[in-house]
């Protein structure tokens, strides 16, 4: 019997979840799993793009400072609270969100919820800790500069979004970091942190009624309703090509363009096309063309990133400096094929099976599921089931992919950044 994505999705165990909302607007989403290990995260719909011009790097600095002391705890006791019982506590900042998350044995749910609430809402931002953390982030920035294969993505977004908040990298710069004060941190939080745009996401072995009681106990804080509303931006994009001299043995190159925003109906089709073009599979079109057939590049990836008002697609490759042009020609030829010839029925079905498999496998990782579930509720106010996703993927046609390729992979709209 031929493979059918809808049949495949329907026999997968659907991921059940439960919801609860506090009067202050903070939402809780929970998925029960029969595992001794739980995962919990607080998502805040604020990131580096919400900084003012003179606040570059402040959102990321706040993420660090959340671990440096509250009104009742010093930094050591924050760091030890979960680690003393074998758990972990971490955080990250992106351009549009901040997340504090932990992993722990199920019987420490109360400990994890209380700690995350304490550092999120009662951090003291002591000046002595701020001075130390500035130096740590400066070291982080310098280490990042030593990784051209990572740095190039930030610099490429600076080209794409020139003059807009999304253009700024998340880490900030030395001048700004050395000037920030505890009062600036508090002002940023007052202006941007909104309880109505916060989500607590949980995956673990705990009854929902018990979890709700703990959630209400530790997160029933006064509502936070800041004045900031994230402005949607119109991007006046013009393709650009830039070559920068770098003291590296290997050349690092990116080709890319603006793409669809996170709520665009074509987003999933572009995700499928991107996965087929240069996703994580070793059989991706670009990996086969550059690495397997020619041996020109060790790394060749295509990535699609979406934001609330825009997105971008990037094709990255690292190669010998003498092969930059040859690699570029091969990539452009592959893009031309996608624009001129719709995928055959067989290739389209293979692409659909592969992307659906990646989604299903990712959902088996409980930490990944907790993170994706929390972000989905925060951004879309709903969770899409595997069957729903499968139905949408099955409906994608080769002509839709061809239309997207002609729009997004149009050679006249591509930008280039090369470290050589």
DSSP readout, 296-349? -EEEEEEEEEE-SS-EEEEEEEEEEGGGHHHHHHHHHHHHHHHHHSPPPHHHHH
Looking at residue 13, what is its pLDDT? 40
In angstroms, the CA 273 to CA 313 distance is 11
Please check whether residues 208 and 98 belong to one and the same domain.
yes
The dihedral of CA 8, 33, 45, 129: what is its sign? negative
Please check whether residues 323 and 185 belong to one and the same domain.
no
Longest CA span, the chain? 67
Q: Is the model's pLDDT at 212 over the cut of 80? A: yes
Please check whether residues 162 and 208 belong to one and the same domain.
yes
In angstroms, the CA 256 to CA 246 distance is 20
CA 343 to chain CA centroid, nearest Å: 29
The pTM of the full predicted model, rounded to 2 decimals, is 0.93
> Could you tell me if residue 51 is inside a domain?
yes
> Could you tell me if residue 320 is inside a domain?
yes
Looking at residue 65, what is its pLDDT? 98
In angstroms, the CA 381 to CA 262 distance is 13
Q: Is the model's pLDDT at 226 over the cut of 80? A: no
Q: Please give the tally of structural domains in the chain.
A: 2
Please check whether residues 129 and 207 belong to one and the same domain.
yes
Looking at residue 247, what is its pLDDT? 85
Looking at residue 15, what is its pLDDT? 55
Please check whether residues 71 and 181 belong to one and the same domain.
yes
Please check whether residues 405 and 316 belong to one and the same domain.
yes
Contacts of 396 (CB under 8 A, 6+ apart): 268, 269, 272, 348, 352
> Could you tell me if residue 99 is inside a domain?
yes
Looking at residue 248, what is its pLDDT? 87
Tally Cβ neighbours within 10 Å of residue 368: 14
pLDDT, tens only, 2-55: 344 443 443 334 458 999 999 999 999 999 999 999 999 999 999 999 999 999
Mean pLDDT, residues 107-132 taken together? 97
Please check whether residues 208 and 313 belong to one and the same domain.
no
Structural domain boundaries enclosing 35 = 16-219
Contacts of 56 (CB under 8 A, 6+ apart): 48, 168, 172, 173, 176
Please check whether residues 321 and 266 belong to one and the same domain.
yes
Please check whether residues 169 and 255 belong to one and the same domain.
no
User: Domain of 258: which CATH number?
Assistant: 3.30.830.10
Angle at 211 between CA 209 and CA 215, to 5 degrees: 115
Q: Is the model's pLDDT at 127 over the cut of 70? A: yes
Please check whether residues 291 and 386 belong to one and the same domain.
yes
Radius of gyration over every alpha carbon of the chain, rounded to an integer in angstroms = 23
In angstroms, the CA 255 to CA 277 distance is 13
> Could you tell me if residue 232 is inside a domain?
no
> Could you tell me if residue 234 is inside a domain?
no
CA separation, residue 208 to residues 59, 111, 214, 273 (Å): 32, 17, 10, 39
- DSSP run (H or E) holding 127: helix 127-145
**Sorting pLDDT into bands at 50, 70 and 90, what band is 233?**
confident
**The pair of three-digit structure tokens given for residue 98, joined into one six-digit string:** 């901040």
**Whether the Cβ atoms of residue 415 and residue 156 lie closer than 8 Å to each other:** yes
Q: Is the model's pLDDT at 250 over the cut of 70? A: yes
Q: What is the dihedral of CA 350, 390, 356, 10, to 10 degrees?
A: -100
Q: Is the model's pLDDT at 354 over the cut of 50? A: yes
Please check whether residues 267 and 159 belong to one and the same domain.
no
Identify which of 306, 315, 309 has the alpha carbon closest to the alpha carbon of residue 274. 315
Decide: residue 2, CB within 10 A, 0-12 exposed, 13-18 middle, 19+ buried.
exposed
> Could you tell me if residue 137 is inside a domain?
yes
Domain boundary pick from 160, 187, 219: 219
Identify which of 405, 382, 370 has the alpha carbon closest to the alpha carbon of residue 31. 370
Mean pLDDT, residues 317-338 taken together? 97
Domain boundary pick from 186, 219, 252: 219
**Whether the Cβ atoms of residue 195 and residue 361 lie closer than 8 Å to each other:** no
> Could you tell me if residue 5 is inside a domain?
no
Name the average pLDDT for the chain.
Answer: 94
Identify which of 224, 254, 260, 222 has the alpha carbon closest to the alpha carbon of residue 239. 254
Identify which of 252, 267, 413 has the alpha carbon closest to the alpha carbon of residue 339. 413
Please check whether residues 372 and 257 belong to one and the same domain.
yes
pLDDT, tens only, 253-279: 999 999 999 999 999 999 999 999 999
Q: Is the model's pLDDT at 60 over the cut of 70? A: yes
Looking at residue 320, what is its pLDDT? 96
Percentage of the chain lying above the pLDDT 70 cut: 96
> Could you tell me if residue 231 is inside a domain?
no
pLDDT, tens only, 166-191: 999 999 999 999 999 999 999 999 99
């Amino acid at each position: 019997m031929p493979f059918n994505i809808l049949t495949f999705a329907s026999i997968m165990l659907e991921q059940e979840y439960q919801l609860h909302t506090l009067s202050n607007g903070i939402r809780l989403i929970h998925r029960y799993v029969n595992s001794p290990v739980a995962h919990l995260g607080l998502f805040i719909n604020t990131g580096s793009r919400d900084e003012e011009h003179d606040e570059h790097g402040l959102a990321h600095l706040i993420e660090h400072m959340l671990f440096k002391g509250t009104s009742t705890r010093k930094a050591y006791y924050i760091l030890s609270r979960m680690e003393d019982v074998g758990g972990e506590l971490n955080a990250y900042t992106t351009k549009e969100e901040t997340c504090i998350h932990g992993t722990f044995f199920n019987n420490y749910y109360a400990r994890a919820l209380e700690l995350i609430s304490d550092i999120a809402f009662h951090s003291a931002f002591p000046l002595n800790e701020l001075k130390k953390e500035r130096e740590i982030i400066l070291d982080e920035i310098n280490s990042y500069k030593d990784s051209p294969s990572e740095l190039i993505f930030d610099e490429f977004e600076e080209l794409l979004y020139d003059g807009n908040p999304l253009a700024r990298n998340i880490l900030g710069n030395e001048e700004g970091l050395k000037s920030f004060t505890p009062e600036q941190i508090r002002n940023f939080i007052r202006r941007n942190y909104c309880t109505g745009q916060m989500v607590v996401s949980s995956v673990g072995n705990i009854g929902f009624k018990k979890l709700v009681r703990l959630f209400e106990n530790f997160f029933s804080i006064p509502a936070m309703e800041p004045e900031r509303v994230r402005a949607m931006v119109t991007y006046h994009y013009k393709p650009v090509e830039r070559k920068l001299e770098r003291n590296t043995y290997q050349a690092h190159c990116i080709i890319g363009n603006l793409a669809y925003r996170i709520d665009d109906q074509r987003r999933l089709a572009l995700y499928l096309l991107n996965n087929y073009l240069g996703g994580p599979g070793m059989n991706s079109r670009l990996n086969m063309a550059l690495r397997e057939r020619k041996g020109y590049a060790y790394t060749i990836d295509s990535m699609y990133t979406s934001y609330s008002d825009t997105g971008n697609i990037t094709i990255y490759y690292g190669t010998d400096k003498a092969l930059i042009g040859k690699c570029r020609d091969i990539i452009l030829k592959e893009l031309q094929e996608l624009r001129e010839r719709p995928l055959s029925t067989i290739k389209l079905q293979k692409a659909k099976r592969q992307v659906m498999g990646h989604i299903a496998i990712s959902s088996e990782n409980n930490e990944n599921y907790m993170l994706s579930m929390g972000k989905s509720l925060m951004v879309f106010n709903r969770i899409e089931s595997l069957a729903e996703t499968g139905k949408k993927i099955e409906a994608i046609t080769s002509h839709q992919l061809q239309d997207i390729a002609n729009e997004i992979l149009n050679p006249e709209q591509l930008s280039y950044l090369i470290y050589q």
